[in-house]
Structure 1
Amino acid sequence: MSDTREPSETAPAKKYGIAIIANDRVIDWLLPFLESYRAWSSSIPLYLIPYDDNLTRTRLVAEAYGVEVVSLDSGELDALARRLYPLNPGHRRRLRKLLALTLPLDEVIYLDVDIILLQDFTKLLGHIEAGKTEFIVSARVTDYIYNSRFRDYDYLRDALLFNDGFFVTSRSVLSLQDFYDVITRDERIFHAVRQRGGLFAQPLTNFVVHRQALKIATLSEIVPHASEESYYKSDGILASPDGPEDRKGNKVYFCHWPGIIGMPRHRRPIDIIWHQYAEKAKARLKALGL
């Protein structure tokens, strides 16, 4: 009997990537980040979104590490930033991190540049599924998102609040257009509930994710034995041969010094790791004549 079945078609491989936003002003943070990326997750393509045009040194460093500096149209997003934050021209470019949602990727990991990687991030990919897991964050937070008025809204009252210095998602479940549409519809509510005080992208990202009712998961729910710790001041982080662990023996995937504070001061074990990556980066660039 002849086989009349049609030849099976192999589904195209998904495209994954990591996105950061940077410029020359944060080069001292960018270098240890890139060195940690090289150590742990260089198999994942890395895309650098320009914060502004101050990129002379940044472009040289990106080339040395094989990082693509992307050219993306930020016109509409910048207009939204001006509309939402008319009194803060120096900081509203922080919304340009949202251009990560326009990269030609099936899933993207976004990371602030004041972070170092401490584990293999390939384990974080391949988990996004519409209606099931749509937005992955490090852990639940309570501060720097909304003021007390958020409790007036059912879709915000019990929402999982998160730090947007790290997230994993797909443009198929959260697009930049969603941000424009939500603000067009609910800008008054956003301004009523958002926390003030030098906060820009973080309340907005939370608000849109919550308004869209995305299915949020924490890192520990997605990756076995992953820690929810990532803050540089977290107590109980211990060194191990396979990377830092929390008190429960779970792997710390990254460490974050949020807000571009002063340089780490060697006070904590995690600060020392940051400085080790910084020194390796400087030595690498020196060897390249940069």
Structure 2
Amino acid sequence: MSLRLPNPPLRAPDAETGAGSAGKRYGIAIVGNDKIIDWLLPFLESYRDTNSSLPIYLIPYDDNVAMTRKAADIYGATYIAEEPVEIDRLSHELYPGFFNNNRRRLRKLQALALPLDEVAYVDVDVILFRDFTPAFGKLEEGKTEFIVASPSFEYVYNERREKYPFLKDVLLFNDGFWVTSNKYLKLSDFIDTMRDDAAIFHDVRKRGQLFAQPLVNFVTHRRGLKIELLPNVVENASHESFYKAPGVTFRDGKPVDYEGKEIYFAHWAGATALPSRGVFDPAWTEYSRAAWARFKK
């Protein structure tokens, strides 16, 4: 896939956070459409509040994007207009019996084709609380090639993974947040891995409306990427992001976990309704109010 996009601005290194080398291009990628505009707008408002110095790219989930495109303009996001032909072809090959609204979850893989040296992909049922700059510049070949925030023990593989030695003792992760570089992981890696090992993938993948998460785990594991949790690469970062996390408190307006470690974002993974009464929900509600006011101007 070749994306004809303007180059994002160069981020200079931050001496205090160790953000990386001068001249490196870092950015955030998200996927959205009008169906989830109630999630997309608070996310973008939180991005404006905490990470506006980083370029952001908005990948359309489908063609239902009239409000989404307006939101991209308001918040200065680069809207990716080019159709992800290779990704959609892969999704049809892997999940031929499912509706497009499930298969399109693989469109997050377009983040790997952006003109960035390192990209942070983030689901939009999220609000950001802290600057992501410290998460960049930490990738290192053979040591840290793919950074995730949270483990996911239940929603990746089934019990048949035990048949395959390369899946033994691997870190299973939530794919709602990851940082990598196409130096270590490319879209072609997904295509090549599924060409060679689709039968193994289908044997081990967890069912139950899971599409992208088992795939991203499988490809990174099959290709032997060195996966690290965010707390192991960013000082005092928490691995916590789940919206129902216990023991969360706020310090100077920012959340910390039960150990006092800094929570970078809250993720409403699996939520069936918009936030209302949880520990992170007042912050989400305020971002939502501000975003809709900005959107309706």
Same fold by TM-score, threshold 0.5 exceeded?
yes
Q: Do the aligned partners of 2:243 and 2:279 also contact (CA within 8 Å) in 1?
A: no
Aligned counterparts of 2:211 and 2:98: Cα–Cα separation in 1: 9
1:71-220 paired onto structure 2 within 5 Å:
71-89=81-99, 90-220=101-231
Between the aligned residues of both structures, percent identity stands at 53
Q: Counterpart of 2:10? A: none
Aligned counterparts of 2:138 and 2:41: Cα–Cα separation in 1: 29
RMSD across aligned C-alpha pairs, in angstroms?
A: 1.2
Aligned pair 1:66/2:76, yes or no? Answer: yes
TM-score, normalised to structure 1, is 0.93
Aligned counterparts of 2:28 and 2:252: Cα–Cα separation in 1: 25
Aligned pair 1:248/2:262, yes or no? Answer: no
Moved more, 235-244 or 17-26: 235-244
Aligned counterparts of 2:80 and 2:227: Cα–Cα separation in 1: 28
Q: Counterpart of 2:55? A: 45
1:269 offset after TM fit, Å? 2.0
The 4+ residue runs of structure 1 with deviation greater than 4 A are none
Deviation per residue, 1:253-278 (Å, 9 max, x gap): 0010114521012x222011111110
Q: Counterpart of 1:7? A: none
Q: Do the aligned partners of 1:72 and 1:99 also contact (CA within 8 Å) in 2?
A: no
Q: Do the aligned partners of 1:239 and 1:269 also contact (CA within 8 Å) in 2?
A: no
1:242 offset after TM fit, Å? 4.7
Q: Which has the larger radius of gyration?
A: 1
TM-score, normalised to structure 2, is 0.91
Q: Counterpart of 1:28? A: 38
Unaligned runs of 5+ in 2: 1-20
Residue 247 of structure 2 aligns to which amino acid in structure 1? Answer: G
Q: Counterpart of 1:6? A: none
1:73 offset after TM fit, Å? 3.7
Q: Counterpart of 2:291? A: 281
Q: Do the aligned partners of 2:155 and 2:206 also contact (CA within 8 Å) in 1?
A: yes
Q: Counterpart of 2:6? A: none
Residue 254 of structure 1 aligns to which amino acid in structure 2? Answer: F
Q: Do the aligned partners of 2:231 and 2:237 also contact (CA within 8 Å) in 1?
A: yes
